Structure 1
């Protein structure tokens, strides 16, 4: 099998390569192509990738190129992990919304819209070029905002599935607390990308015993501390929200915090500089510990566990199609959303794609917010595809973290001022 990574010069890539090496029996790769316009990053990351594979006895060929068509030709799957504008653009996404009293974050709110506007056109262009040289390749999107980008890909007719590491991170955490193997834990994980709740923690697979009540009872304070929410919130909800829900449940508190500390982008930029220095060491042949602080925990496991069944390799218990949490068309899964909304839910994965499992009843407390953000995402995608100040304004006005006319006007002006070089229509 051949897998291409668009954005292969990312400092994340050694995490991905390490997973490919460890999980070779699940996903037997013969060739890995790292594609990136940054030749120096490719040289450093590509070198470390080869050393990681060699250390673990994996004989896959690793090649690097700036030529998308050459790298993607003949690929069985193409993983997209790019960031338009780099950490500098992310830093702006995380700071200018604060001027209007709104959360500054790279995947939600005004900053998330800015990222979508920059990202969607480029990812669609990449996908179309991939389709010309590898029409049967699956596109696995790890590029944020995953829900909006995946919807753009699906609406354009691409074979695409969106992937996020939030679910697998919680699965591993819950498995450790319950003292069971990770593959014994199935999450009733429902919502939208970066807007999800764990409605159940099933032991043994879908339909198994729900361990969520005892998890909250026994470990609620510890789980709440990781989410930076009061334990009473988990007790009252009876479910575990993703940590992104803090931007909604404690919006003003988060804004006050963000105004008094460096942006996450600044922290990551410093880490990336140090990581690239480490990658240049020819003696380094494993992913460094610092990479875990970069983010993306269990990213490689999530990527392998999705790619393998898409490519006909991985099987679930008893030979059934395995269940993975992915971003895909709703198609009736959440009945209060349109079929063409992209949801983040457990789904059976086969070479034919993702087939979501039936969803439990969703509490109106969560369903209302899901529906609200889905409407915003539709408007955000329209703005990304067709441009125009008025479309940007309407998307911001629709977002529950904005929602006020004056704020939406001011944020629109700030978004355009900070992103003109990345928006062909601005």
Structure 2
């Protein structure tokens, strides 16, 4: 199988390659094509891959390309993790919101809308090039905001685009371990989870038919052992009656998160930008590029959601070891290519569904959201694609927030697709972490100054 990675000079590409060299995914791919617009970043990542301590017999061939048509030709599967504007763009995404006293975060709130506005056009071009050069290939989308970008590509690729993220699956696995009932890879039996990307809730955990979640929420020691327990606190979790995705910290603790980010010496984006600015040249000069990259990777993992750990708390070792989103992507790829059915939490259209329980109630996976909206739910993946598993109707406050954020996503997509500047203003203004038209206009004006190419979107 030939795998093309768009954004092949990206920092996390070695995680994908490492997973392809050993373990359950070894032998799945015989050629990896790394495509990027930055040839220097490609050479740096190539140095890491060549230095990676893996058996030669299991290593897929690596080809580098800055020509999109060439990279796509003959491709069976495409992974996409691109960042238009680079890490410097992420700094602007965060800074412009913070200057207005709003949350400054890469995918959530104003920063996520900015990221989507400049990313959707590039991802649309990739999807259109796939239709021309490899029409039977699947696109596994890592590019953030993953749910919104995936929904924007449905008119081009239909169900041949699937969005992935590791945060929901990580939550489920942590909860299952804390409850004393770890789930085998590729199964989500008895798991109830609904939401949008970076906005979801684990509401049932019943691998053997009995829901373990109420007992887990009532156990202070078990909750404290989980990242989400430390993030949200047992009082809030008891009130919610479920476990939220870690990114909901920015909604439930918005003021606290914004204050913590503001008080940090530099934003997360600035920290990553400074790290990568020195790392990539260093990789080209190093005699041990893999070790240099891996040390940087671990440091970066340790800083994840640092604004929520204001008392010196440490991330769990399992989360620092790596093996998150690349395992999800490769599990999807293996199932699509005939390697057996897998159950995974993915970003896919809300219908059609695989019915669970009464088929009469299973018109959509998440009742209350449009059938064509991309949602993040457990899915069954086969060579025919990824079909969502029907979930229980969300409780009022959860459905209200999902509908609110979904409308923001659709306004953002419409702004790009139709060139409607006012739709972009309303997307910013109506986001629950913004909430006012004057601020929406200020945000868009600020992002247009930082990213002049945005002005070219409007008709």
* TM-score normalised by L of structure 1: 0.91
Aligned position for 2:34: 34
For 1:361-390, what per-residue CA distance to the aligned partner results, in whole angstroms no more than 9, with x for missing partners?
311121110111111111110012223331
| Separation (CA, whole Å) in 1 of partners of 2:382 and 2:143 | 22
State whether residues 178 and 225 of structure 2, in contact with CA within 8 Å, keep that contact through their aligned partners in structure 1.
no
Q: Does 1:301 align with 2:301?
A: no
Matches within 5 A, 1:1-150: 1-25=1-25, 28-52=28-52, 54-55=54-55, 57-150=57-150
Q: Secondary structure at the match of 1:102?
A: coil
**Residue 169 of structure 1, CA deviation:** 2.0
**Residue 251 of structure 1, CA deviation:** 1.5
For 1:396-419, what per-residue CA distance to the aligned partner results, in whole angstroms no more than 9, with x for missing partners?
222111122222222222222222
Structure 1 window deviating more from structure 2 (73-82 vs 248-257): it is 248-257
State whether residues 20 and 27 of structure 1, in contact with CA within 8 Å, keep that contact through their aligned partners in structure 2.
yes
Q: Secondary structure at the match of 1:345?
A: strand
Distance 1:59 1:211, change over 3 A: same
Q: Does 1:269 align with 2:248?
A: no
| Separation (CA, whole Å) in 2 of partners of 1:50 and 1:180 | 39
Aligned position for 1:188: 192
Residue among 256, 259, 277 paired with 1:256: 259
State whether residues 43 and 284 of structure 2, in contact with CA within 8 Å, keep that contact through their aligned partners in structure 1.
no
State whether residues 227 and 242 of structure 1, in contact with CA within 8 Å, keep that contact through their aligned partners in structure 2.
no
**Structure ranking higher on relative contact order (CA contacts 8 Å, 6+ apart):** 1
For 1:186-220, what per-residue CA distance to the aligned partner results, in whole angstroms no more than 9, with x for missing partners?
3422100010111122326xxx4322223223322
Equivalenced residues, count = 417
Aligned position for 1:407: 439
Aligned position for 1:390: 422
**Residue 245 of structure 1, CA deviation:** 0.8
Q: Does 1:374 align with 2:411?
A: no
RMSD: 2.2
Q: Secondary structure at the match of 2:194?
A: strand
Q: Secondary structure at the match of 1:92?
A: helix
Q: Does 1:234 align with 2:260?
A: no
Distance 1:138 1:278, change over 3 A: same
| Separation (CA, whole Å) in 1 of partners of 2:53 and 2:38 | 22
Q: Secondary structure at the match of 1:183?
A: coil
**Residue 263 of structure 1, CA deviation:** 0.7
Distance 1:258 1:126, change over 3 A: same
State whether residues 33 and 65 of structure 2, in contact with CA within 8 Å, keep that contact through their aligned partners in structure 1.
yes
Residue among 343, 348, 371 paired with 1:323: 343
Unaligned 5+ segments in structure 1 are 316-320
Q: Secondary structure at the match of 1:288?
A: helix
| Separation (CA, whole Å) in 1 of partners of 2:139 and 2:58 | 24
| Separation (CA, whole Å) in 2 of partners of 1:138 and 1:165 | 19
Residue among 294, 298, 303 paired with 1:288: 294
**Residue 157 of structure 1, CA deviation:** 3.3
Aligned position for 1:318: none
* TM-score normalised by L of structure 2: 0.85
Unaligned 5+ segments in structure 2 are 302-321, 352-363
Aligned position for 2:316: none
State whether residues 227 and 246 of structure 1, in contact with CA within 8 Å, keep that contact through their aligned partners in structure 2.
no
**Residue 104 of structure 1, CA deviation:** 1.0
Structure 1 window deviating more from structure 2 (139-148 vs 175-184): it is 175-184
Aligned position for 2:304: none
Structure 1 window deviating more from structure 2 (48-57 vs 304-313): it is 48-57
Distance 1:169 1:304, change over 3 A: same
State whether residues 372 and 399 of structure 1, in contact with CA within 8 Å, keep that contact through their aligned partners in structure 2.
yes
| Separation (CA, whole Å) in 2 of partners of 1:343 and 1:24 | 28
Matches within 5 A, 1:209-220: 209-218=210-219, 219-220=222-223
| Separation (CA, whole Å) in 1 of partners of 2:59 and 2:247 | 39
Aligned position for 1:167: 168
| Separation (CA, whole Å) in 1 of partners of 2:276 and 2:258 | 25
Q: Secondary structure at the match of 2:5?
A: strand
Q: Secondary structure at the match of 1:335?
A: coil
Distance 1:417 1:9, change over 3 A: same
| Separation (CA, whole Å) in 2 of partners of 1:335 and 1:173 | 26
Structure 1 window deviating more from structure 2 (116-125 vs 355-364): it is 355-364
For 1:330-384, what per-residue CA distance to the aligned partner results, in whole angstroms no more than 9, with x for missing partners?
1211120111110000011112111111102311121110111111111110012
